[in-house]
Amino acid sequence: MNKPAKEEYAPFYGTYMRMVGEGPVLDILEDLAENTYALFSKLSDEQANHAYADGKWTIKEVLGHMIDAERTFAYRILAFSRGQPELPGFDENTYVENATFKSRSIGNLAEEFKAVREANLYLLHSLSPVQFAATGIANGNKISVLALVYIMAGHEMHHVKIVNERYLL
């Protein structure tokens, strides 16, 4: 699978696309899952309750956001690959504000991330080339299923980079 063309996603997602290297994207997602799980599962709850600045999410909230986004991307992939033409947007701040991430252990959140990714990989491995090429409208923007798969990987890379650079100095 080649990277999606720029016409297959909104410009906002270019940051995530650029983060994903060459190679089979499903293999990249599998490798990322292992590395991301290892990163978060080794943290203590004290470390995971840290925010690098006032008004910023804690590490637990970052991981919770990653889980929510993974589920959102997967739902869009499922819906568009099955022929649904349009889905609403996703306000990540509202999701985090209304979640219970801070009251959970980082180990529990890491396990959930791992399980969500594993389930999503089953979905992704089941898609045909025609389904990867399918498109839909999400958040008012046209996007392909293939682009969503790359965004799933790039979004994870983006947040792991931020955690490593700003939280775990």
Task: Please count the other Cβ atoms lying within 10 Å of the Cβ belonging to residue 93.
Answer: 9
Find the mean pLDDT for residues 114-121. 98
* Count of CA atoms in the C-beta half-sphere (13 A) of 145: 25
Q: Encode pLDDT of 56-115 as tens digits.
A: 999 999 999 999 999 999 999 999 999 999 999 999 999 999 999 999 999 999 999 999
> Which pLDDT band holds residue 165 (cuts at 50, 70, 90)?
very high
* Rounded CA separation 74/148 (Å): 8
pTM exceeds 0.85 for this model: yes
pLDDT of 125-153, one tens digit each? 999 999 999 999 999 999 999 999 999 99
Q: Mean pLDDT across the stretch 10-22? A: 95
Angle between helix 106-126 and 25-41 (nearest 10):
170
CATH of domain 25-167: 1.20.120.450
The predicted pLDDT at position 169 comes to 81
Q: pLDDT at position 1, please? A: 84
Q: Specify which residues 137 forms β-bridges with.
A: 86, 142
**Max Cα separation, the chain?**
46
Query: Bridge partners of 141?
Result: 138
Which tokens go with 49?
Answer: 């309750």
CA-to-CA separations, 157 to 28, 66, 154, in angstroms, rounded: 10, 10, 5
Helix locations, 42-58, DSSP H: 45-48
Backbone angles phi, psi at 2, to 5 degrees: -85, 160
Is the pLDDT confidence value at 22 over 90? no
Q: Tell me the per-residue pLDDT of 122-132, one tens digit each, with 9 for 90 and over.
A: 999 999 999 99
